[in-house]
Structure 1
């Protein structure tokens, strides 16, 4: 829960640490559109290692792909009675070959790419992060990689409608 005055406290138990905070959304007590959260059995909708989702190569530096999230993995199609307004996905990078730090950015298809990162990683790492992203009328989201090349895995775990 959010504290008094809308504040949240973060603490580090030992040493020093860099902290990056991105606000991806919020929950409210009000009855509003997009308030229905439906968990699904986790389903893999993208895996560049084996072609799941239609992409068979690592995501290279500056590359952008658009993947379908509506109508797959237990998420309703855009034309259904309750189309998704957002999806909750677990995004993993593996087989990373980058000369320095890199990051993935994920955003609604056919909109302006945001400046915030959704998953940060370095060479040789396998790392995952939970991401909430709006679903536009196309039913797709876009993913870009900043540096190097990496395999990308996306599992859908819930949706909002």
Structure 2
């Protein structure tokens, strides 16, 4: 098990220069008081409902909400899932780019709510980020905790 973990860390470290070179920078981090930018439990709307279904992707605008300026290049988020109908996973990434091959949160229907903190770049497209749910239905809540520019 230790060998598997060390291998995963090794390959993740190898990927960092490639990931870092894709973004120009350096950027400064600006913390924000946590602020809800997406909640699919709310009425249907741009950053509200409905819940995600199977194989569903939705795009969300983050810049201009909760103190995130239009010049932000990336955001620090807390992503929460709740009321899942079956085991699944979410991916979050900049809109207009290829969906990543890794999940950012895995969950079961027995989880009352499960959260994970992430940092994600923002797209240069109209919508800032995309969220994908693999199986079943689930509500997604996204709180912004800071931004980079």
User: Structure 2 length as normaliser, TM-score?
Assistant: 0.79
1:46 aligns with 2:38: yes
Are the structure 2 counterparts of residues 34 and 61 from structure 1 closer, same or farther at C-alpha, using a change threshold of 3 Å? farther
Show CA shifts across 1:119-151 (max 9, x none). 110113110000111012125100000111100
Partner of 1:5: none
Shift of 1:54: 3.3
Aligned residue for 1:56, secondary structure, equals: coil
Count of residue pairs the alignment pairs up: 134
- 1:96 alignment partner, one of 84, 87, 103: 84
Deviation sequence 1:78-117 (CA, Å, 0-9, x none): xxxxx1111010000001111xx31100000010001010
- The match for 2:62 is 69
- Could you state the TM-score of these two structures normalised by the residue count of structure 1? 0.74
Distance 2:30 2:74 in 1: 10
Q: Does 1:136 align with 2:97?
A: no
Displacement of 1:53: 4.7
1:25 CA drift (Å): 6.4
Question: How big is the shift at 1:67?
Answer: 0.4
- More helix per residue: 1 or 2? 2
**Structure 2 portions without partners, runs of 5+:** none
- Structure whose alpha-carbon radius of gyration is higher: 1
Give 5+ residue unaligned stretches, structure 1. Answer: 1-10, 12-16, 78-82
Instruction: Say if 2:78 and 2:142, in contact at 8 Å, map to a contact too.
Output: yes
**4+ residue segments displaced more than 6 Å:** 20-26
CA RMSD of aligned residues (A): 2.7
- 3-state SS, counterpart of residue 78 of structure 2: strand
